[in-house]
Amino acid sequence: MDGVSGNHRARSVGVGRAHAKAILLGEHAVVYGAAALAVPIPQLTATASAGFSPAGDGEGELSFTMTGSASRALVTQASDGLRELTAAFKDRVGVSGELHLDVILDGAVPTGRGLGSSAANSRAIVLALAELFGRELSDGAVFDLVQTAENMAHGRASGVDAMAVGASAPLLFQAGRARELSIGCDGLFIVADSGAAGSTKEAVELLRAGFERRAGAREKFLERASQLTARAEQALAEGRAEDVGAQLTDYHDLLREAGLSTERIEAMVAAALAAGSLGAKITGGGLGGCVIALTRPDQASQVTRRLHEAGAVHTWVVPLRRRAEHV
C-alpha cells in the first residue's frame, strides 16, 4: 500500500482487544519496586478498530471516535494520547509515509475506577495498529508501547496495568516482570464500583506528602505492603482462602490509614465483610473507585446484594480457580 514502508502487507482494517484488571494487593508499593498481585477481568473489554482513510491531507492525520457516553474532555484527552501512541508505534515498527488513520474505540472499562481503562484502551489500539500494518509485535514490544502511553497519561507508571490488561490468569508483577500465580483454591472475587472516580495522580501525591512529613514512613509502608503481598501469594498457592482474605482486609487498613479511602468505600468494605466475605479492600489508586471482595460461591449473592445496598452501582464476578504456577 502507498505510504507504508517495510516488507509486511497492510490490511484494510485492524482490530485489537484488551480487558480490565484489578489489583489484589500491592497498590502504590509497586511504584517503588515492590510486588503486586493482579487479576484480569475478562468481561470488561476494550475493542479498537483501525483503518486507512483518504480524508487526510498530511502525514500523521488521525480521526478518533469513542463509542458510548464518554465526555468531551475524556475524548479530547484520549485523542491527544492516541496521537502520541500512534507516533511511538510508527517509530517502533518502521512505518512512514503520508497516512490518514481512522480509529474507533469501544471501551467498556469504566474510567477512574482503578480497573486499568487507559492501559486496556492503549493495548487494544496497539494491537489494532499492528494488525492494520501487518506487523507482528512481541509481548515485550506491546508492553513497552502501552507503558509509554501510561507514562504519558499518568506520569511514572509501575507497569502493572500495562501487563495485567493482557494477562489470561492472575499474576505477580514486580519491576517490569510478571509471572502467573499458583492458585490452590477456588472462590470468587466480586468487584464493586462505588460510582465515584478516583484520582491516581492525587492519591500518589497524597501518599508522597505523607511520606515526606514523617521520617521512615515510606519504608514502613513498603515493608508492610510487601509483607502482606507475600503472605497472600503464599496463601493462594497453598489454597488457604481465609488467609488470602485476611491479607486483603489488612492491606485495605494500610491504604485507609494512608488516607486513600472514602466514606462510601468504607461502607462497601464493611458491608462485604458483614455479608460473609473472606476479605475486602479498595482496589486501585484510591480516593474512589472500586472495592474487591473474596467470597465463597455460596455467599456471592448475599455479598453482592449488601454491596449494592452500601452504594455500589455495578458489580462484576471474577472466578478464582485452582491452577499450577506457570513457569
At residue 200 the predicted structure's pLDDT band, cuts being 50, 70 and 90, is confident
5 within a domain of the structure (yes/no): no
Express each pLDDT in 28-86 by its tens digit. Answer: 999 999 999 999 999 999 999 999 876 554 444 788 888 866 666 677 777 888 888 99
325 within a domain of the structure (yes/no): no
The CATH number of the domain holding residue 220 is 3.30.70.890
- Is the pLDDT reported for residue 326 higher than 60? no
Global model pTM greater than 0.85: yes
Question: What is the pLDDT averaged over residues 273-280?
Answer: 98
**Which residue is associated with the grid cell 474510567?**
111
Question: What is the pLDDT averaged over residues 272-301?
Answer: 97
At residue 324 the predicted structure's pLDDT band, cuts being 50, 70 and 90, is low
At residue 327 the predicted structure's pLDDT band, cuts being 50, 70 and 90, is very low
Express each pLDDT in 72-122 by its tens digit. Answer: 667 777 788 888 899 899 999 988 776 789 999 998 999 989 999 999 999
Question: For all residues of the chain together, what is the average pLDDT?
Answer: 90
2 within a domain of the structure (yes/no): no
Residue at which a domain ends, from 126, 144, 178 = 178
pLDDT (0 to 100) of residue 78: 79
Q: How far apart are CA 325 and CA 322, in angstroms?
A: 10
- Give yes or no: residues 259 and 131 share one domain: no
Contacts with 270 (C-beta within 8 Å, 6 or more apart), sequence order: 310
**Chain-centroid distance, C-alpha 254:** 21
- Give yes or no: residues 51 and 173 share one domain: yes
- Give yes or no: residues 166 and 203 share one domain: no
190 within a domain of the structure (yes/no): yes
326 within a domain of the structure (yes/no): no
State which residues form the domain around 258: 183-319
- Give yes or no: residues 52 and 152 share one domain: yes
- Give yes or no: residues 151 and 240 share one domain: no
Residue at which a domain ends, from 178, 212, 232 = 178
- Give yes or no: residues 169 and 33 share one domain: yes
157 within a domain of the structure (yes/no): yes
Q: What order do you get walking across the sheet with 314-320 strand by strand?
A: 279-283, 290-295, 187-193, 314-320
Residue at which a domain ends, from 160, 178, 196 = 178
Q: What domain count does the chain have? A: 2
- Give yes or no: residues 166 and 32 share one domain: yes
7 within a domain of the structure (yes/no): no
pLDDT (0 to 100) of residue 159: 92
- Is the pLDDT reported for residue 7 higher than 50? no
Q: What is the DSSP letter of 324?
A: P
- Give yes or no: residues 110 and 194 share one domain: no
The CATH number of the domain holding residue 20 is 3.30.230.10
Express each pLDDT in 229-269 by its tens digit. Answer: 999 999 999 999 999 999 999 999 999 999 999 999 999 99
Closest-CA residue to 75 (of 52, 107, 51, 49) = 107
Read off the C-alpha cell for 192: 464493586
- Give yes or no: residues 136 and 213 share one domain: no
6 within a domain of the structure (yes/no): no
- Give yes or no: residues 119 and 204 share one domain: no
Q: How far apart are CA 53 and CA 31, in angstroms?
A: 40
- Give yes or no: residues 152 and 218 share one domain: no
- Give yes or no: residues 240 and 221 share one domain: yes
Closest-CA residue to 4 (of 139, 87, 98, 137) = 98
